Amino acid sequence: MADETTSTGAGPDDGTRSEYQDKARAALDKLKAQLDELRVQADLAQAEARDRLEAAIDALRKRQAEAKAKLDDAQSSGADAWRSVAQQVEQLVDDLGDTFSKLASEVQAAVGAAGSAASKGRDAFLEEWKKARAEREKLLGDQSGSSSSSSA
């Protein structure tokens, strides 16, 4: 009774089942390898992007501190000088905004590159999986009563 899950008469169904399982397992193993590679690519891209972005963020913070110091200078400047310092601050903040926008675009591009790599891996797997589907379905069709066991 404990052996009811095995075939009762080692018939042709066993070979078909085994062949199907081998094909499906091979596809899933290949997917695992592609996912592992994607993880490596994402980690490398993330590390590279993080290093670049951290340097850019540090530079922006320094420039922000300079703009704040200029603003503090404007407060202690004479009646006419403060306007000149305030204009310098305006220009500094405008430049900071432009640089920040470029940095935000770079972050988006880094995220987009990882997404692109993921899409390529997904597409390669799905293409191969679909290409081999007819072969697997043929194996499933060779089994008696396979039409009633197609719930997935």
pLDDT digit string (tens) for the chain, length 152 residues: 444 444 455 555 778 888 888 888 888 888 888 778 777 877 777 787 778 888 888 888 898 898 888 888 877 877 778 778 888 888 888 888 888 888 778 777 777 766 777 777 788 878 888 888 888 888 877 654 444 444 44
Per-position DSSP letters for the chain, written without gaps between them: -TTTTS-SS--HHHHHHHHHHHHHHHHHHHHHHHHHHHHHHHHHHHHHHHHHHHHHHHHHHHHHHHHHHHHHHHHHS-TTHHHHHHHHHHHHHHHHHHHHHHHHHHHHHHHHHHHHHHHHHHHHHHHHHHHTHHHHHHHHHTSTTGGGG---
| Overall pTM > 0.85 | no
